[in-house]
Amino acid sequence: MPEGKGGIHMKCALITGASRGIGAAVAREFARRGWAVAVNYSKSEERANALVEELTAQGVPAMAVRADVADRVQVQEMVDNVLEKFCQLDILICNAGVSEVGLVSEIDEVRWRRIFGVNVDGVHFCCQAVLPHMIHRKAGSIVTLSSMWGQVGGSCEVAYSATKGAVIAYTKALAKEVGPSNIRVNCVAPGVIDTEMNGRLTREDLAALADETPLCRIGTPEEVARTVAFLASEEASFLTGQTLSPNGGLVV
């Protein structure tokens, strides 16, 4: 188990899809709060290693671990590697995700299966892999990442909306199943956030979305990260099966 200053044992977080965007912001936020961090990536090895170097330079135990979350075998190896290094895992943050934009009639089976593989199967495989450890300890927390489109649906984002709606339902059901083992499971469903995933939107599109938002702007990865960190904290000790949506009031 990693130790912080003064030999104090540190809590450990595994964050999927943490090499950039919201995942990287979550990793930095947990490190800032004194957690050891496992940074999962699938393809962005250079970014993941750079983030780990950044965190370790601040005195925070961190590791990069590769896995395509849509592959059950890779996910199990990832969790085994994290437990081998850190000895315990206090929180799993299921952030890895892909988007798919286009008319539903244009989405072929390969693309449909891939988005469900990452966004839904990935959450399931990661939860399955960490739960034996958490149940044995009678302690742990899981935070899934959905989207406001999982709550209300988005035109030309049918596949993405369907996967994110599934994540919300999965979270609610799993919270009831593992609550007796003192494991909390919650969801964060962000609105429009300034990330690379939304980089496909034009400046005009982003301005229009900001105008539709009651707070008159789009969100930042750091604001989502603080929401995730709150759900992991003792301040949220009686919260489970809930969906928090940092969206500036766009969806209520």
Find the CATH number of the domain harbouring 80: 3.40.50.720
Inform me whether the pLDDT recorded for 7 exceeds 50.
no
Look at residue 95 and tell me if it is in a domain: yes
CB neighbour class for 211 (10 Å; exposed up to 12, middle 13-18, buried from 19): exposed
Q: What's the pTM?
A: 0.94
The letter for the amino acid at 149 is W
Q: Which of 160, 161, 218, 224 is catalytic?
A: 160
CA 95 to chain centroid, in Å, comes to: 2
Containing H/E element for 41? strand 36-41
Tell me if 249 is assigned to some domain.
no
Q: Is 191 inside a domain boundary?
A: yes
Give the number of C-alpha atoms closer than 13 A to the C-alpha of residue 56, restricted to the C-beta side: 13
Inside any domain, residue 250 = no
Tokens of 162: 């369907």
| Residue 218 counted as domain residue | yes
What's residue 1's pLDDT? 65
**8: confidence class by pLDDT, cuts 50, 70, 90:** very low
Domain count, the chain: 1
Residue 5 pLDDT > 60:
no
Q: Is residue 146 a part of any domain in this protein? A: yes
More confident position, 4 or 103: 103
Average pLDDT over residues 91-110: 95
Average pLDDT in the 195-203 region? 73
Asked if residue 148 lies in contact with residue 189, where contact means CB atoms within 8 angstroms, the answer is yes
Angle (nearest 5°) at CA 130 between 124 and 132: 110
Q: Supply the mean pLDDT for the chain.
A: 94
Give the separation between CA 76 and CA 112, rounded to whole angstroms. 24
Distance (Å, rounded) from C-alpha 37 to C-alpha 60?
A: 8
Q: Residue 23: which domain range?
A: 5-244
- What is the average pLDDT across 11-37? 97
Q: What is the mean pLDDT of residues 218-232?
A: 97
The residue type of 58 is Q
Alpha carbon separation from 251 to 16, 136, 244 (Å, rounded): 26, 38, 11
- When pLDDT is averaged across residues 169-176 and rounded to a whole number, the result is 98
| Residue 204 confidence (pLDDT) | 85
- Whether residue 252 is contained in a domain is answered as no
Report residue 55 CA to chain centroid gap. Answer: 18
Average pLDDT of the segment spanning 42-48: 96
The answer on pLDDT for 215 being more than 60 is: yes
Amino acid at 93: I
Q: Catalytic annotation on 160?
A: yes
Is the pLDDT assigned to residue 6 strictly greater than 50? no
The stretch 169-173 carries a mean pLDDT of 98
Asked, for residue 251, whether it belongs to a domain, the answer is no
